[in-house]
Amino acid sequence: MLLLLAAGLLLLTYDNILPRIALYYHLLFLFTLALGTGSLFVAATGRYYFGRANANRGIGYGVEILGSSLGAILPVTVLLPMIGVDYLLISLLAVLLCGLLGAFLTP
């Protein structure tokens, strides 16, 4: 819910932000997304390993670390220069909405 609220506020207000505070505005939005995606990882791990207390969670954690490292490097070095901040944030919102849809569709 936090992610959808933050994304909605971004889409409603990003045209009205003064240029001198735009960097802080986008950093605050990205920090909110980082908090939301971190909580999504904890929820997804708990859901996947539900009822299997002794299961090895190392593989899931390793995949999460790999995805986090790629997610930290790829947008800044490749996507940001190509599509800009606004479209990068909109594409991140699309990825999060796909994840939310997948969470609702799984049993």
Domain ranges, ordered by start, for the chain: 8-14+21-105
Give the C-alpha separation, 41 to 26, whole Å. Answer: 22
Closest CA to 38 of 72, 84, 75: 72
| pLDDT higher than 80, residue 48 | no
Question: What is the per-residue pLDDT for 53?
Answer: 65
| pLDDT higher than 80, residue 58 | no
Give the C-alpha separation, 77 to 2, whole Å. Answer: 27
| Predicted structure pTM score | 0.46
Give the C-alpha separation, 29 to 37, whole Å. Answer: 12
